[in-house]
Chain A
């Protein structure tokens, strides 16, 4: 999906931050949000990291951005918890308002409806019987994929030609895995694109490498 999370190449964000020394969590709630998300994910979805990333991408752009990285984690965790009916929609806001003294009624806990899902192995790497369809040095082109659902084909490399620079081990396919529709493991290819292929003849000269799933590619 062309979501707010798919940021590669967008203009308008201003200059990059100058790195500074900083603790892992700027404020205590960030650590709590991080821990809640990672520790509850198994209870919700069998550690489906792709489903979590897709939840991030499904957020309203305001909810994605307004409280930064751990704010979006908090919102995506809430979205997954309401999707699987562990929490009722509005439950978090209602509790928060009660905590600040407002007289609001909290919704009842619903009957959970967790996804029927079990990974076939830990992590994201899998073995497949097939040989890789492409080899290092092959010139490939990315397909014109425009799903409303999840994909790991960033829009800035859609319909572009590049060269396979490495073959990576097969991974579960996030496009189906993120929506609990199967692991469908595929080879992943690192594809190198000249910057002019992405950003036109006046682009800064450089090479962009991006890791793409086999079903995103065709021979050019």
Chain B
């Protein structure tokens, strides 16, 4: 760490290697456990979990009602829970309301359903801007929210984690839950995009 950024600043890759070496010497960390942990977050935990939740809500009205009433329990019913998903709240997009989620203080994000946060979510421009000029920020990100829609911004400043239930696109009446899950994107479940028809 430095008090500023000098010209001979060490790269984070080198400093990470150095820290890992020191902790291995102290027997505080096992590289094999690290490898397994990294793989889990690269391969198993990701937005597909959330997409399955959304697709079930789109095809099962009772599940949808449960999800909106008790997000934690309904999501646990799909097998998803754990760190950064202790208390889940689901908010539903409609023709009248557009929801969007942020964490201004860090980059808190519902890991069990969405995986690790994407770059744009961790970026100061998003964290600073979405709570001040959400319509403008969403436009910068490629989403035009129609003038008539009421915008609701959710700042995740406690351990409550928010998932956005997007609107089901028109023309998908014949698709089953599995096919629908394939349409649902991470960005739609944070509220910076809509789900497009296939």
Total A-B residue contacts, Cβ distance less than 8 Å: 242
Q: How far is the CB of B164 from chain A (nearest CB, A)?
A: 13
Question: A5 near B: Cβ within 8 Å?
Answer: yes
Q: How far is the CB of B34 from chain A (nearest CB, A)?
A: 4
Q: How far is the CB of A169 from chain B (nearest CB, A)?
A: 6
Q: Choose among B29, B154, B159 the residue that contacts A40 (Cβ–Cβ < 8 A).
A: B29
Q: How far is the CB of B39 from chain A (nearest CB, A)?
A: 9
Residue contact A96 to B17, C-beta cutoff 8 Å? yes
Residue contact A123 to B125, C-beta cutoff 8 Å? no
Q: Choose among A25, A34, A60 the residue that contacts B3 (Cβ–Cβ < 8 A).
A: A60
The proximity string for B residues 128-148 relative to A, scoring 1 for CB distances below 8 Å and 0 otherwise, is: 111111111100111000000
Question: A97 near B: Cβ within 8 Å?
Answer: yes
Residue contact A213 to B34, C-beta cutoff 8 Å? no
Q: Which stretch from B48-56, B99-107, B167-175 is at the chain A interface?
A: B99-107
Question: A132 near B: Cβ within 8 Å?
Answer: no
Residue contact B34 to A206, C-beta cutoff 8 Å? no
| A169 CA / B13 CA spacing, docked (Å) | 40
Q: Choose among A190, A204, A205 the residue that contacts B136 (Cβ–Cβ < 8 A).
A: A204
Main secondary structure of the interface of B (DSSP, over half): mixed
Q: Choose among A24, A26, A96, A207 the residue that contacts B15 (Cβ–Cβ < 8 A).
A: A96
Q: Choose among A36, A57, A125, A204 the residue that contacts B23 (Cβ–Cβ < 8 A).
A: A36
Residue contact A8 to B18, C-beta cutoff 8 Å? no
List chain B residues, Cβ under 8 A from A14: 125
Q: How far is the CB of B104 from chain A (nearest CB, A)?
A: 3
Instruction: Name the residue among A65, A153, A171 with the largest chain B CB count within 10 angstroms.
Output: A171
Residue contact A154 to B135, C-beta cutoff 8 Å? no
Question: B120 near A: Cβ within 8 Å?
Answer: yes
Residue contact B128 to A171, C-beta cutoff 8 Å? no
Known: A5-B106, A25-B42, A171-B158. A96 touches B18 (CB 8 A): yes
| A92 CA / B20 CA spacing, docked (Å) | 9
List chain B residues, Cβ under 8 A from A68: 122
Question: A63 near B: Cβ within 8 Å?
Answer: yes
The proximity string for A residues 61-76 relative to B, scoring 1 for CB distances below 8 Å and 0 otherwise, is: 0110111111100110
Known: A19-B120, A24-B116. A86 touches B26 (CB 8 A): yes
The A-contacting residues of B in range 65-104, CB under 8 angstroms, are: 83, 86-87, 89, 104
Question: B192 near A: Cβ within 8 Å?
Answer: yes
| A93 CA / B159 CA spacing, docked (Å) | 34
List chain B residues, Cβ under 8 A from A87: 22
Q: How many residues on chain B are close to A (CB under 8 Å)? A: 77
The A-contacting residues of B in range 17-41, CB under 8 angstroms, are: 17-23, 26, 28-29, 33-34, 37-38, 41
Question: B58 near A: Cβ within 8 Å?
Answer: no
Question: B123 near A: Cβ within 8 Å?
Answer: yes
Question: A156 near B: Cβ within 8 Å?
Answer: yes
The B-contacting residues of A in range 175-197, CB under 8 angstroms, are: 188, 190
Q: List, sorted by A's number, 12 A–B pairs whose CB atoms are closer than 8 Å.
A: A10-B124, A24-B41, A35-B37, A74-B12, A74-B15, A81-B23, A91-B22, A96-B18, A125-B86, A168-B160, A171-B158, A206-B152
Given contacts A17-B123, A35-B37, A208-B153, 17 further A-B contacts (CB under 8 A): A7-B105, A13-B123, A17-B125, A24-B41, A25-B42, A27-B13, A35-B34, A38-B37, A39-B37, A60-B1, A66-B5, A92-B15, A92-B18, A123-B86, A168-B158, A206-B151, A209-B152
Listed in ascending order, the chain B residues whose CB lies under 8 Å from chain A are: 1-5, 9-10, 12-23, 26, 28-29, 33-34, 37-38, 41-42, 46, 83, 86-87, 89, 104-107, 115-120, 122-137, 140-142, 150-160, 186-187, 192-193
